[in-house]
Amino acid sequence: MGLRFRSIAPGPARGGECSGLAWAAGVAMWAGLAVSAANAQWTVVNLHPTGALQSAATGVSAGQQSGWAQLGPTVGHTRASLWTGSAASWVNLHPAGTEYSRAYGVGDGQQVGEAPIGLSRASLWSGSAGTWVNLHPAAAGNNSSVAYAASGGIQVGSANVLGWHASLWTGSAGSWVDLNPPPTMGFFHTSEAWATTGVQHGGYVVDEFSVTSASLWTGSSSSWTNLHPPGNISSWVYALDATQQVGVVRVPDSSSHAALWAGSAASWVDLYPVAQSNSRATGVAGGMQVGYADGASGRHAALWRGTAASRVDLHSFLPMSFLTSEATGIWTDGVETHVSGFGYNSATTRQEAILWIGPGAGCYANCDGSTGTPLLTVNDFVCFLNLYAIGDPRANCDGSTTPPILNINDFVCFLSKFAVGCP
């Protein structure tokens, strides 16, 4: 909820005599919670499987996390992996007869990735190793293919068909659709698709000027939309939802910046405008974006809410032994938010799969609809008091229906939501 600021207006006290001084005292007493709430709102689950040498969570959706775990000393011991919220829930998806495997995305009960047979093969699973489907299209011959994302029964990725071509499947190798745009002015494009909602698909296309360009499709090669912001070196889309796309724009100083779009090149937002510093956005859901940002203390998993100023350092919620971290995906049902990723744990000297769990995308406590840092401030108390004072139904925090609808319980409710914080 984003309730805009209003001027304080007089109104009757409700639920007992609660004077303006008492309200002000309540504001003063609780305003300090903005900082403490920010430190208490996220919990962390270490997904690293027992016995693995290293691991990573690459995607998250509806209680499932995809990724990989390395069980032996070489890349050949890497196994596509599935979790449902705990290290003990780990499922080895590795299909028999393949050299190694990795899962890169998860959606609607499906997991996608690669499992090489000689060269990489785009792969699809539905929760177990025995459900593996080889998506490698005949058009790719003895070359490679990879699947990166799944949603709504659609899988997307790329296949090497005289160069990489963005690809779409609906559950079988024979269903393959070539998303690579037709030649422009005699230039033959290459492309990859890294994200899908089931309706829209995101990735990159190397355009007719040889610029790697963030791209959007809606199911066919002719539907290609170029999202590349002019004046920059290159760009990619790594994730998208129904309204937003996220990825990277390589800016003129050659650093890579986490990027946000809303369907057009002109809508580009630089989420980390720090010169000579790298960042990346790899997940988006419910108005939130996740990825990483490099800083003086190293690479840290990050969460944004549409602006550079809104960045939350997810690394700060990890144990002190973690030196670096990256967020790879995000999912929310409005009640909880799940963020997948990984970090380097100096205590165990290995990379470990991580799941962050925080509050849902909606945030009642952010009454004034601000997007800065800290997100919750004394202004949210002032906003709530304004609404309460004029009898605005939006102040009915506890959703009560018995008169008086607005009462002291709404104030207690708001304080509780403020203490929990926003993602």
3-state DSSP of the chain? CCCCCCCCCCCCCCCCCCCHHHHHHHHHHHCCHHHHHHHHCCEEEECCCCCCCEEEEEEEECCEEEEEEECCCCHHHEEEEEECCCHHHCEECCCCCCCCCEEEEEECCEEEEECCECECCEEEECCCHHHCEECCCHHHCCCCEEEEEEECCEEEEEEECCCEEEEEECCCHHHCEECCCCCECCECCCEEEEEECCCCEEEEEECCCCCEEEEEECCCHHHCEECCCCCCCEEEEEEECCCCEEEEEECCCCCEEEEEECCCHHHCEECCCCCCCCEEEEEEECCEEEEEEEECCEEEEEEECCCHHHCEEHHHHCCCCEEEEEEEEEEECCCEEEEEEEEEECCCCEEEEEEEEEECCCCCCCCCCCCCCCCCCHHHHHHHHHHHHCCCHHHCCCCCCCCCCCCHHHHHHHHHHHHHCCC
Q: Comparing C-alpha atoms, which of 284, 115, 110 is closest to residue 202? A: 284
Q: What is the pLDDT of residue 38?
A: 42
Q: Are strands 298-304 and 312-313 parallel, antiparallel or unpaired?
A: antiparallel
Question: By C-alpha distance, which of 173, 96, 179 is closest to 135?
Answer: 173
Are 49 and 55 contacting, i.e. CB atoms less than 8 angstroms apart?
Answer: yes
Tell me if 119 sits within 8 A of 154, measured CB to CB.
no
Do the Cβ atoms of 204 and 240 come closer than 8 Å?
A: no
Looking at residue 14, its pLDDT comes to 37
- Would you write out the chain's pLDDT as a tens digit for each of its 423 residues? 332 222 223 333 333 444 444 544 555 455 454 444 444 579 999 999 999 999 999 999 999 999 999 999 998 999 999 999 999 999 999 999 999 999 999 999 999 999 999 999 999 999 999 999 999 999 999 999 999 999 999 999 999 999 999 999 999 999 999 999 999 888 999 999 999 999 999 999 999 999 999 999 999 999 999 999 999 999 999 999 999 999 999 999 999 999 999 999 999 999 999 988 999 999 999 999 999 999 999 999 999 999 999 899 999 999 999 999 999 999 998 778 999 999 999 999 999 999 999 987 667 787 776 656 687 888 888 888 888 888 866 688 877 767 887 898 888 888 888 887 776
Cβ atoms of residues 206 and 223 within 8 Å: no
* Domain boundaries 44-359, corresponding CATH code: 2.120.10.30
Per domain, the residue ranges of the chain are: 1-31+377-423, 44-359
Contact between 375 and 2 under an 8 Å Cβ cutoff? The reply is: no
Among 389, 390, 369, which Cα is nearest to 379's?
A: 369
* Pairing status of strand 256-261 against strand 245-250: antiparallel
Q: Which residues pair with 270 in a beta bridge?
A: 259
User: What's the rounded Cα separation, in Å, for the pair 384 and 3?
Assistant: 9
